[in-house]
Structure 1
Amino acid sequence: MSHTYNPLRTQFLPISQEDLAERGWDSLDFVFISGDAYVDHPSFAAAVIGRVLEAEGYRVGIIAQPDWTNPQSYLALGVPRLAFLVGAGNMDSMVAHYTANRRKRSEDAYSPGGKAGYRPDRATLKYVEGIRSVCKGVPVIIGGIEASLRRLVHYDYWTDKVRRSILLDSKADLLVYGMGEKPITEIARRLAAGEPIHTITDVRGTCVFNYGEPLLDPHCTVRLPDFETVARPDETGKRAYAWHFMLQKEHADPISGKILIEKTDTRWVIQNPPPLPPTTEELDHIYELPYTRQSHPVYQQAGGIPALTEVAFSLVSSRGCYGSCSFCAITFHQGRVVRGRSQKSLLREAALLRELPEFKGYIHDVGGPTANFFRPPCPKQAKGGACTTKECLSPEACSTLRADHREYLEVLRKLRALPGIKKVFIRSGIRFDYLLLDHNFGEAFLEELCAYHVSGQLKVAPEHVSDTVLNIMGKSGNRVYEQFRKKFEAINRKLGLKQYLIPYFIASHPGSGLNEAIELAEYLKKTGFIPDQVQDFYPTPGTLSTAMYYTGLDPRTMGPITVSRGERERKLQRALLQFDKPENWPLVREALIQAGREDLIGNRPNCLIPGTASSAHQKPEAPHKKSEPRSGGGNRPELKHKSRRTPSS
């Protein structure tokens, strides 16, 4: 069985001709071209897909971060027998390279030593172009976050334009979207049986293209607005884009979703329905494959791969998320149907961690996109998929939702009891609104969370305090967060612990103008918590919020919505969230005057900044001292596709 292997004796997948010679292989079935460095851990896409195919009997090699300026680098492992697999990495390459304000990043956590520059912009396009230039006739299959979220017409923030499907732009043969283990296994089987790539058109979780309108059953097919219409920069185009997005969202469920077709020039992109969610047994199998759980030794001299640090001793307990935050693309990638692993599998993996020499007794996380979503929220989702016309938690919790932390709590208790385990942390995020809905086990879970699974600070994501903005974000109202905050403080007082909530907030999200940003600043002033760093809204492919940003419409209602587009207003909103910094006072003053809120300028307790230049060295009087410390929350690129902890193919 897969769980009997020893990670200290397992081999890395081959990355060189020397590795092939050591195995006695003269060729490979698949070569995976990856935009990330090769980390053989179940939180990294290339490792997961490689190990899944290996378990099916295929020979797989990895070319990690090839030199895209030298096309011969794609042939380092020879020509694969069945196909090249191409993935830009665990993050969209543009998100990996640029901040929300389009500034170049100097670091890349998925590259050797954390240094930037090891992959190109739009890595999927560049890699396929390079492969095609040196190797004709071999199938090329693209996948991963970058391809998955760009699989159909999409708004591209970095060029401020609507782009075609990445399948057409890349000239690949096939696109795998979502979590790719099931699709790639079926494709491999059919390729190995001699079926040509151009006839593999019906696999769930894939997109293909066709010259001429496809002949499909109209009862099972939905036609999306054409690219030429959606790409128009006028009101007609914006409304078509919003409608296009809602049709995708409506058909993102594997049970009820239909085939989507989209016309671009003379070609048609065909999106097959999503793959069926993995069973618990299938998840157990995937995460217990023989990973070395380390970065490849070739990166040791460069300092290793920083992205491994956070997840090296973490356990992926579930997939999918029914939280449906507007700014998150997880529902378009992993889906809303939640599936969790078995307790036995998680305990086996935890026991395996103890064999690693670097393990010090601390499990860093037990979770997924949302840690306390461990099983489906209602019988309908368990049997028939997610609802297409309503959300589970917003604007109010669905009447059929059954919040239950019992099984997740049992897992945590059993993990804590394992010999050699000193501490089990939870870092992948808690939905506090869901927790409060559990009237049977929620209180016990929160108490044990505070007692055993938090180390001084618990990071949570209320995101805003304006109920108008929260509704647009798909989040519960601010009163829910306040209720949770009070419970958290009460339980820590009961336990005699001094622990703090570290809330994340987003500036300049659609729906948030200066008035809403000021409302948030006033809340921060009142509570005494001011973040060290602020997350600016980042319009990335595959999110409802990005559709709002581009169109100026709420696609759910087609009504107009406030959008902060200019860099100046984004700066003003960001400065308001850090109003206590003297270097921000000119921007804060400009924002307050512009909004007609001069009442917040002065030295009174409610004021945000000093009133005159002569008092600029003095901060306004604080209303009262609060116990929360300043946060080091940081910029969160993972907000756009919370799949950092979970692999994508």
Structure 2
Amino acid sequence: MKKSINDSGQKARIDNPPKENKGFLPMSKSEMRTQGIAQCDFILVTGDAYVDHPSFGAAIIGRVLESRGFSVGIIAQPNWQENDDFNKLGAPRLGFLVSAGNLDSMVNHFTVNKKRRREDVYAPGGQAGLRPDRATIVYCGKIRENFGEIPLIIGGIEASLRRFAHYDYWQEKVRRPILFDSRADLLVYGMGELAILEIAEGLNAGIPVAQLTHIKGTAVISREPEVGDAVMLPATEDVMVDTQTYARATALIYQSNNAHDPQTYLQPTGNRYLQQNPPQQPLSQAEFDALYDLPFSYRWHPAYDQVGGVPGLNEVKFSITANRGCYGNCTFCALAIHQGKYVQMRSRDSIVREAGRMSKDPDFKGYIHDIGGPTANFSHLACKKQETRGYCQDRECLAPEPCKNIDASHKPYLETLRAVRKLPGIKKVFIRSGIRYDYLALDKDKAFFRELVEHHISGQLRVAPEHVSDEVLRHMGKPAFKVYEKFARNFKQIDEQLGKNQFVLPYFITGHPGCSLQDAVKLAEYIRDMGFFPEQVQDFYPTPGSVATAMYHTGVNPLTMEAVYVPKGREKNMQRALVQYNKRENYLLVHEALTKAYREDLIGTGKKALIPAKVKSADHQAPKSNKTSKTKQPNKTRSAKSVPAKQSKNKPKR
């Protein structure tokens, strides 16, 4: 196999785990013997380091199987250049499970500009290069090479979002469904706890993996089309060559994750079919609670102590997952076809139990970093109808206008937050997950809004209006910008009543499909008038599975089939530069952008100017970065006055 570009130093790869293993799933033969395991039922191969925490997919699937009496071994970040790591636990009795990790391996490895990342927070010591590109395919190839036709099941976000023919940004082409390239037997899509248990029980009962073809929440390769009421997607070969056909396929796939719609989806590929079975039903609250009562150690495996552990744990160690699923349905997000639109919420007692356990951790300092999920303030289904009929096929819950049937209430979430705040040893409970401010505005009871400002933020509340142009927001599936502006005013009012001196920190996306150069200039002007630069600006990243990625590839909104302007190449770079127009290295791009947009009025020394006619100093003066302390913030999001750019002293470097 060709050596990876990023097969870097071995110092962080753990080849000889220590003997001590208190409560972890085994990673070595010696650990298997210690736990009385002669042969693992399943071996789970993952692209992440092994962290025994429910935020890591390998841990949660391993613990779920263990809870049903199956033994599970972990092979974490194996050296794919050799065979030794794949053989170190022997052959499993029932099969191999493969996941690329918590992220698509290509997203993990590359920036939006296709540059190799230097760090990997899911690797020991944060070292990049310990997993291959397209990890699911590579790992499956090594397993087939070493173990032949053993049952092989793939899952995780990489497999889930690549289950149909999909546009691959890094190769700039449409690839086949990942089952064909990986040569796996089964693909588990979405949140796979129920599906993997059904697969395990079937294999344990002696059913050949080739006969496990109709398990909900899975996809398989079939040689004959499904008999009955199946949705036939355009063939892989057709979507590879025709963008309009790709867009139509995306629109159909977009409807394929409705748990109350028992349809099978088929995509012809060569002389076979990708068969996606209907999704699993969402977990009941009791099932969801039970997941978080499993005996996680909430630690990285002790094998990683010698290199300082796994940085990714630090972000979640003192955070609590309260919900899963999201009906916000932003087009740049693939959650709708991975976790689904059905919001599932853990019970208050379950969350309080986890917070209580957390408070006894010797490293805990009294601060819970987050209680949330994909959207923190979603705590139940969008409406009563979803319970029996699923979500609507012809409209969204929140955008462009909220549905009149939406059940906007924060009561369950608020009661949970109050209960956790009262626990001994808890000093503060933060909310760092995304808050949907449009949903917040629909709740007539303002108690949550007030307590959010009073108790659950530290100086700033991060929210994501994403853009200021309503045309761009429409293609993002977001509400009009006036909704955010009203939210910011209400936040300011509550904050002043409480005497808090806190502020809203907005996140924006640049270069999204539908965003013209004029729209990008409008965003830059808004940032100028805010009085400070936002901490994070995300350049649109065409990741597998999202509707916006389909727009990027096809130039068409697949949900409406209307043409969409797509900035690419140099113009996409100009849009990114505009939101950081104060940086010297962006001067030439910003100047070019303003000229092309016929906005030379923003070049010069006027009060509204973004850049001077000529730049002289390293960074011409402009609104301050929000990395300064909050006491130095100029007026913040509330009613920020423009801060004129000052002349500088050196010519820009080319």
Q: Which amino acid counterpart does residue 572 of structure 1 have in structure 2?
A: M
1:629 Cα deviation after fit: 8.6
Q: Relative to structure 1, is the Cα distance of residues 494 and 33 closer, same or farther in structure 2, using a 3 angstrom cutoff?
A: same
Out of 32, 38, 49, which is 1:37 matched to?
A: 49
Q: Is the 8 A contact 2:21 2:301 kept in 1?
A: no
Which whole-Å CA distance do the structure 1 matches of 2:236 and 2:637 have between them? 49
Counterpart in the other structure of 2:17: none
Counterpart in the other structure of 2:592: 590
Q: Is the 8 A contact 2:222 2:274 kept in 1?
A: yes
Deviates more, 1:443-452 or 1:49-58: 443-452
Out of 613, 616, 620, which is 1:611 matched to?
A: 613
Matched, 1:16 2:28: yes
Q: Relative to structure 1, is the Cα distance of residues 607 and 69 closer, same or farther in structure 2, using a 3 angstrom cutoff?
A: same
Counterpart in the other structure of 2:506: 503
Please give the secondary structure, in 2, of the residue aligned with 1:351. helix
Counterpart in the other structure of 1:537: 540
Matched, 1:227 2:230: no
Please give the secondary structure, in 1, of the residue aligned with 2:306. coil
Which whole-Å CA distance do the structure 2 matches of 1:321 and 1:31 have between them? 31
Out of 116, 125, 132, which is 2:128 matched to?
A: 116
Counterpart in the other structure of 2:564: 561
Q: Relative to structure 1, is the Cα distance of residues 108 and 621 closer, same or farther in structure 2, using a 3 angstrom cutoff?
A: closer
Alignment of 1:483-502 (within 5 A): 483-502=486-505
Which whole-Å CA distance do the structure 1 matches of 2:623 and 2:321 have between them? 46
Which whole-Å CA distance do the structure 2 matches of 1:626 and 1:325 have between them? 31
Please give the secondary structure, in 1, of the residue aligned with 2:532. coil
Q: Is the 8 A contact 2:260 2:388 kept in 1?
A: no
1:615 Cα deviation after fit: 9.6
Q: Is the 8 A contact 1:29 1:81 kept in 2?
A: yes
Q: Is the 8 A contact 1:532 1:578 kept in 2?
A: no
Q: Is the 8 A contact 2:531 2:623 kept in 1?
A: no
Q: Is the 8 A contact 2:187 2:220 kept in 1?
A: yes
Counterpart in the other structure of 1:242: 247
Which whole-Å CA distance do the structure 1 matches of 2:21 and 2:366 have between them? 21
1:257 Cα deviation after fit: 4.8
1:215 Cα deviation after fit: 3.9
Out of 65, 74, 80, which is 2:77 matched to?
A: 65
Q: CA RMSD in A?
A: 1.7
Q: Is the 8 A contact 2:584 2:617 kept in 1?
A: no
What TM-score do the two structures reach when normalised by structure 2?
0.91
Q: Relative to structure 1, is the Cα distance of residues 613 and 414 closer, same or farther in structure 2, using a 3 angstrom cutoff?
A: closer
1:72 Cα deviation after fit: 2.7
1:214 Cα deviation after fit: 2.2
Tell me the alpha carbon deviations over residues 259-303 of structure 1, each in whole angstroms, 9 at most, x when there is no partner.
000111111110001110000000000111000000011111111
Q: Is the 8 A contact 2:383 2:406 kept in 1?
A: yes
> Unaligned stretches of 5+ in structure 2?
1-19, 625-632, 639-654
Q: Which amino acid counterpart does residue 50 of structure 2 have in structure 1?
A: Y
Please give the secondary structure, in 1, of the residue aligned with 2:63. helix
Counterpart in the other structure of 1:389: 394
Counterpart in the other structure of 1:477: 480
Counterpart in the other structure of 1:635: none
Q: Is the 8 A contact 1:30 1:80 kept in 2?
A: yes
Q: Is the 8 A contact 1:464 1:520 kept in 2?
A: yes
Counterpart in the other structure of 2:156: 144
What TM-score do the two structures reach when normalised by structure 1?
0.92
Matched, 1:125 2:137: yes
Q: Relative to structure 1, is the Cα distance of residues 599 and 485 closer, same or farther in structure 2, using a 3 angstrom cutoff?
A: same
Which whole-Å CA distance do the structure 2 matches of 1:375 and 1:615 have between them? 53
In the alignment of these two chains, the number of paired residues is 611
Which whole-Å CA distance do the structure 2 matches of 1:75 and 1:520 have between them? 54
Tell me the alpha carbon deviations over residues 559-608 of structure 1, each in whole angstroms, 9 at most, x when there is no partner.
11110121x11211111001122332221111000111111111111111
Out of 565, 569, 572, which is 1:570 matched to?
A: 572
1:627 Cα deviation after fit: 2.0
Counterpart in the other structure of 2:13: none
Q: Which amino acid counterpart does residue 246 of structure 1 have in structure 2?
A: A
Matched, 1:627 2:635: yes
Q: Relative to structure 1, is the Cα distance of residues 614 and 208 closer, same or farther in structure 2, using a 3 angstrom cutoff?
A: closer
Counterpart in the other structure of 1:214: 225
Tell me the alpha carbon deviations over residues 28-85 of structure 1, each in whole angstroms, 9 at most, x when there is no partner.
1000000000000010000000000000010111010011111231111110000100
Q: Is the 8 A contact 2:50 2:301 kept in 1?
A: yes
Q: Is the 8 A contact 1:378 1:402 kept in 2?
A: yes
Q: Is the 8 A contact 1:603 1:620 kept in 2?
A: no
Matched, 1:189 2:189: no
Q: Which amino acid counterpart does residue 367 of structure 2 have in structure 1?
A: Y
Counterpart in the other structure of 1:84: 96
1:374 Cα deviation after fit: 0.8
Matched, 1:431 2:431: no
Which whole-Å CA distance do the structure 2 matches of 1:222 and 1:10 have between them? 49
Which whole-Å CA distance do the structure 2 matches of 1:248 and 1:397 have between them? 23
Out of 496, 516, 530, which is 2:519 matched to?
A: 516
1:617 Cα deviation after fit: 8.0
Which whole-Å CA distance do the structure 1 matches of 2:568 and 2:277 have between them? 34
Which whole-Å CA distance do the structure 1 matches of 2:298 and 2:616 have between them? 59
